[in-house]
């Protein structure tokens, strides 16, 4: 998938001017945030579960080689096959190879962020395969030829009228007006595809080392129809999605839906282990798991290892004030919001993603809700540091920080400068006590006034207080 | 194959170690997780029903397994559905009414209703556990508009974890598919408006049997 993160600022301007998007984002915020809040308030064990989930993920990451090999052995024992993809190109070639070998024409897909990450649809379509996204949200954005704008609600930015227009263009009229009619229409159209499909591709919320199972968690049942009715089931998943045992899946199940969609559970949790067994009346003839690295192993053992705990629930973006204002498309790649602002620079490079770590206010809400306690603000700060080391940050900023440092390391000078500034700003504030223009801060003061300082520094006031 | 060793080598390099020692592997193999389970209370049947209905599932209660065909007929009559269904093999021997036609599956594209057994119910969130096998094709759980599940009260377990020993004890171990289902299919993908019957069943109806299995 193309990276359009360099256009972040331009996209933000467009997004902020879009009233539909504002409505949609406002709605989702209410639903997801309130839903999570109510459930968490009613679950005294929640914080303990978060600690345990963090610990399980850390345990897996520290022994990732072992668990991956164990998973592979179990998949093989169940009659399936594991493929290892070092990068996106590897992943595309592996899946193209499978589709070619089985003589596929129609390919159905359940939701898979990894497949977006490796640009799978484009690669399959370029080879002439018909690829159909079956998650309703993914189906809508496939018709619109857009990337997802949220990892669990990919078409969150589309209004009912826009969906109706897309459906009319794709399926013929008459144009539908209610959500129910639209859902029914998609249901009927996609039914046909499930039964025709040669290959069904799904993601994997978890890969269970103990049993060699891949697990998908959905509300619609599309992933299940995809993987049950196609001749061949292909799972695409990141190497970090391993959990040791079935009991560990149960732990994560208590956190995933509550954190992400604000539900006590999703409707379907499905474990797939190998192809259909002798005597099974249905199920796929072949089962493949493509383990995708694509930059993940490089994050191990360093400052960004914590990010590999992510279970892709969406809580961080649901609670992010920046995501809530600009939506997912502004981020310019597959993963939006706080988790995307960490992953995108690591996966596609620091220079084309410059704005992402800087579009964070470091308010910390994401970290407060992350079910696996990823210190997202810290990681974003670390990325800013790396930008600075790589010489990517503006020279004026570097100079200003150097100047600040020079002053801050000299307490007398620092206090004197502070006194001077406090008095000067008070004078500039005039009788209103407000500053209408800030030097170097015009973008901020162009929209509002800054209350002027009262003429004394904090240290002066502190001493005055102590004397009293 | 090249990627396999490249990835595993890279992982070990980043973690600053070589392959694990046999002792370390033995310790990992001995790991038995004991995570916190949430408080569920003792009224498992009541909790199951409340949770399942809260997620738009429906429940009908019968005294014995022999009354299942009656409950199915009542469901069909209430919704004006034709007297045919995909019925999982373990239920085929029940006394189905004359004129009711059934087959064991798998479900075809025009399947309207299925009746299946299940491995267990889970009180924690109100869900049923459906393993695949010769007598329980997975398509029965997803293709028909209406999915009727026969569950005995004695099958209702407290937590998610309680089901894993039963799954491990199945003949052949972990089946191809295990579905944990909490109510009918739904979507919120258009304007976040909840809509039932996105792709899977529009309605999931549990026939809860009081008598033990």
Tens digits of per-residue pLDDT, A418-449? 999 999 988 888 888 888 887 777 888 888 88
State the nearest Cα–Cα gap between B77 and chain A, in angstroms: 23
Of A389, A424, A448, which residue sits at a domain end?
Answer: A389
Does one domain contain both B175 and B204? yes
Is B27's Cβ below 8 Å from some Cβ in A? no
Does one domain contain both A183 and A236? yes
Check residue A26 and give its pLDDT.
Answer: 87
Does one domain contain both A286 and A323? no
Contact: A45, B39; criterion CB under 8 Å: yes
Does one domain contain both B7 and B92? no
The whole-number average pLDDT for the span A274-303 is: 97
Of the candidates B139, B173, B181, which has its C-beta nearest A229's C-beta?
Answer: B139
Q: How many of the other CB atoms lie within 10 Å of CB of A96?
A: 17
Does one domain contain both A363 and A403? no
Q: How many of the other CB atoms lie within 10 Å of CB of B124?
A: 26
Q: Is B71 within a domain? A: yes
Contact: A267, B106; criterion CB under 8 Å: no
pLDDT band at B1 (very low <50, low <70, confident <90, very high): low
Q: Which residue of A has its CA nearest to B132?
A: A280
The whole-number average pLDDT for the span A383-387 is: 96
The whole-number average pLDDT for the span A173-193 is: 93
Mutate to test the interface with A, among B18, B114, B138, B169 (most CBs of A within 10 A): B138
Does one domain contain both A385 and A401? no
Does one domain contain both B106 and B187? yes
First to last CA, chain A: 65
Closest to A255 measured CA to CA, from A245, A265, A267:
A265
Contact (Cβ atoms closer than 8 angstroms) between residue A411 and residue A405: no
The whole-number average pLDDT for the span A389-398 is: 91
CB-CB neighbors (< 8 A) of B171 in chain A: none
Mutate to test the interface with A, among B41, B122, B180 (most CBs of A within 10 A): B180
Size of interface A-B (CB pairs under 8 A): 258
In this structure, what are the phi and psi dihedrals at residue A206, rounded to the nearest 5 degrees?
Answer: -140, 150
What average pLDDT is seen over chain A?
94
The CATH number linked to B169 is 3.40.50.10420
* Cis, bond preceding B118 (omega within 30 deg of 0): no
The CATH number linked to A90 is 3.40.50.10420
Q: Is B105 within a domain? A: yes
CB-CB neighbors (< 8 A) of B6 in chain A: 86
State the nearest Cα–Cα gap between A86 and chain B, in angstroms: 5
Contact: B177, A272; criterion CB under 8 Å: yes
Spatial CB neighbours of A426, under 8 Å, sequence gap ≥ 6: A433, A452, A453, A454, A455
Is B82's Cβ below 8 Å from some Cβ in A? no
Does one domain contain both A344 and A406? no
Contact (Cβ atoms closer than 8 angstroms) between residue B149 and residue B205: yes
Of the candidates A224, A247, A300, which has its C-beta nearest B200's C-beta?
Answer: A224
pLDDT > 90: percent of chain A: 82
Does one domain contain both A354 and A417? no
Q: Which residue of B has its CA nearest to A179?
A: B190
The whole-number average pLDDT for the span B208-212 is: 96
Does one domain contain both B176 and B112? yes
Total domains in the fold of chain B: 2
Q: CA A422 to CA A294: how far, in whole Å? A: 51
Q: Is A312 within a domain? A: no
Does one domain contain both B84 and B27? no
CB-CB neighbors (< 8 A) of A65 in chain B: 8, 11-12, 15, 19-20
Contact (Cβ atoms closer than 8 angstroms) between residue A421 and residue A435: no
Does one domain contain both B3 and B77? no
Q: Is A305 within a domain? A: no
Q: What is the pairing mode between strands A242-243 and A268-272? A: unpaired
Total domains in the fold of chain A: 3
Does one domain contain both A289 and A321? no
Does one domain contain both B71 and B8? no
Q: Is A246 within a domain? A: yes
Contact: B187, A298; criterion CB under 8 Å: no
Q: Is the pLDDT score of B31 beyond 90?
A: yes
Does one domain contain both A167 and A277? yes
Does one domain contain both B1 and B90? no
Check residue B213 and give its pLDDT.
Answer: 85
* DSSP H/E element including A22: helix A19-41
Does one domain contain both A289 and A337? no
Does one domain contain both B165 and B64? yes
pLDDT band at A402 (very low <50, low <70, confident <90, very high): very high
Check residue A441 and give its pLDDT.
Answer: 78
Does one domain contain both A402 and A339? no
Angle at A237 between CA B196 and CA B22, to 5 degrees: 130
Q: Is A10 within a domain? A: yes
CB-CB neighbors (< 8 A) of A182 in chain B: 190
**Segments forming the whole domain that contains residue A233:** 5-298
Q: Is A304 within a domain? A: no
Q: Is A310 within a domain? A: no
Q: Is B36 within a domain? A: no
Q: How many of the other CB atoms lie within 10 Å of CB of B168?
A: 12
Q: Which residue of A has its CA nearest to B188?
A: A153
Does one domain contain both A128 and A22? yes
Q: Is A309 within a domain? A: no
Does one domain contain both B22 and B93? no
Q: Is the pLDDT score of A65 beyond 60?
A: yes
Q: Is B196 within a domain? A: yes
Does one domain contain both B23 and B117? no
Is B76's Cβ below 8 Å from some Cβ in A? no
Does one domain contain both A290 and A225? yes
Residues β-bridged to residue A202? A235
Which tokens hold the place of A186?
């998609």
Of A240, A269, A298, which residue sits at a domain end?
Answer: A298
Whole-complex ipTM: 0.97
**Segments forming the whole domain that contains residue B85:** 41-209
Does one domain contain both B141 and B100? yes
pLDDT > 70: percent of chain A: 100
Q: Please name the residue that has the structure tokens 């005597």.
A: A279
pLDDT band at A123 (very low <50, low <70, confident <90, very high): very high
Question: What confidence tens digit (pLDDT) does each residue in A197-223 have?
Answer: 999 999 999 999 999 999 999 999 999
What average pLDDT is seen over chain B?
96
State the nearest Cα–Cα gap between A350 and chain B, in angstroms: 20
Q: What is the DSSP letter of A262?
A: S
């Amino acid at each position: 998938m193309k990276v359009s993160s360099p256009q972040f600022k331009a996209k933000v301007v467009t997004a902020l001017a879009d009233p539909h998007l504002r409505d949609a984002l406002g709605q989702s915020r209410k639903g997801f945030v309130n839903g999570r809040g109510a459930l968490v308030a009613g679950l005294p064990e929640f914080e303990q579960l978060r600690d345990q989930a963090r610990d399980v993920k850390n345990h897996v990451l520290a022994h990732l080689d072992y668990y991956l090999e164990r998973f592979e052995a179990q998949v093989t024992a169940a009659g399936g096959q594991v493929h290892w993809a070092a990068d996106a190109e590897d992943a595309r070639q592996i899946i193209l190879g499978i589709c070619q070998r089985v003589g596929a024409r129609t390919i159905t897909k359940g939701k898979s962020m990894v497949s977006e990450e490796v640009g799978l649809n484009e690669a399959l379509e370029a080879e002439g395969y018909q690829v159909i996204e079956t998650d309703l949200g993914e189906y809508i954005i496939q018709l619109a030829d857009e990337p997802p704008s949220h990892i669990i609600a990919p078409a969150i930015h589309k209004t009912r009228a826009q969906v109706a227009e897309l459906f009319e263009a794709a399926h013929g009229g008459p144009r539908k007006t209610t959500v129910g009619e639209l859902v029914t229409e998609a249901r009927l159209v996609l039914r046909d595809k499930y039964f025709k499909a040669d290959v069904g591709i799904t993601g994997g919320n978890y890969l269970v080392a103990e049993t060699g199972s891949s697990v998908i968690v959905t509300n619609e049942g599309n992933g299940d129809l995809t993987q049950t009715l196609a001749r061949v089931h292909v799972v695409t998943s990141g190497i970090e999605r391993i959990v040791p045992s079935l009991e560990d899946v149960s732990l994560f199940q208590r956190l995933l839906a509550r954190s992400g969609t604000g539900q006590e559970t999703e409707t379907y949790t499905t474990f797939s282990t190998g192809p259909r067994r002798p005597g099974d009346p249905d199920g796929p003839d072949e089962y493949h798991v493509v383990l995708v690295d694509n930059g993940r192993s490089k994050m191990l053992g360093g400052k960004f290892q914590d990010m590999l705990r992510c279970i892709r629930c969406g809580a961080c973006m649901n609670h992010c004030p920046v995501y809530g204002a600009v939506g997912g498309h502004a981020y310019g790649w597959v993963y939006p919001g706080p988790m995307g602002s960490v992953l995108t620079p690591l996966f596609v490079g620091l220079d084309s993603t410059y704005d992402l770590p800087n579009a964070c206010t470091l308010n910390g809400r994401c970290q407060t809700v992350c079910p696996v306690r990823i210190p997202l603000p810290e990681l974003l700060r670390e990325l800013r540091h790396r930008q600075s080391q790589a010489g990517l940050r503006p020279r004026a900023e570097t100079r200003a920080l150097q100047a600040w440092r020079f002053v801050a390391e000299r307490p007398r000078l620092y206090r004197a400068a502070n006194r001077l500034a406090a008095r000067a700003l008070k004078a500039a504030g005039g009788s209103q006590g407000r500053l209408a223009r800030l030097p170097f801060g015009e973008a901020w003061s162009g929209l509002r006034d800054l209350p002027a300082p009262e003429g004394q520094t904090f240290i002066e006031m502190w001493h005055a207080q102590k004397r009293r | 194959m090249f990627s396999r060793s490249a990835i595993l080598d890279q992982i070990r390099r980043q973690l600053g170690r070589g392959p694990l020692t046999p002792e370390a592997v033995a310790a990992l193999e001995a790991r038995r997780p004991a995570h916190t389970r949430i408080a569920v209370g003792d009224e498992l049947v009541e909790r199951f029903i409340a949770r399942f209905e809260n997620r738009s599932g429906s429940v009908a209660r019968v005294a014995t397994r022999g009354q299942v065909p009656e409950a199915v007929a009542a469901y069909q009559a209430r919704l004006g559905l034709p007297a045919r269904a995909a019925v999982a093999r373990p239920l085929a021997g029940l006394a189905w009414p004359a004129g009711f036609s059934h087959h064991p599956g798998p479900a075809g594209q025009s399947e309207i209703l299925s009746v299946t057994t299940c491995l267990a119910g889970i009180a924690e969130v109100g869900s049923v556990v459906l393993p695949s096998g010769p007598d329980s094709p997975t398509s029965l759980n997803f293709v028909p508009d209406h999915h009727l599940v026969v569950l005995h009260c004695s099958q209702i377990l407290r937590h998610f974890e309680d089901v894993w020993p039963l799954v491990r004890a199945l003949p052949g171990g972990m089946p191809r598919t295990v579905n944990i289902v909490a109510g009918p299919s739904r979507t919120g993908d258009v304007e976040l408006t909840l809509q039932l019957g996105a792709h899977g069943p529009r309605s999931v109806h549990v026939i809860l049997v009081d008598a033990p299995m």
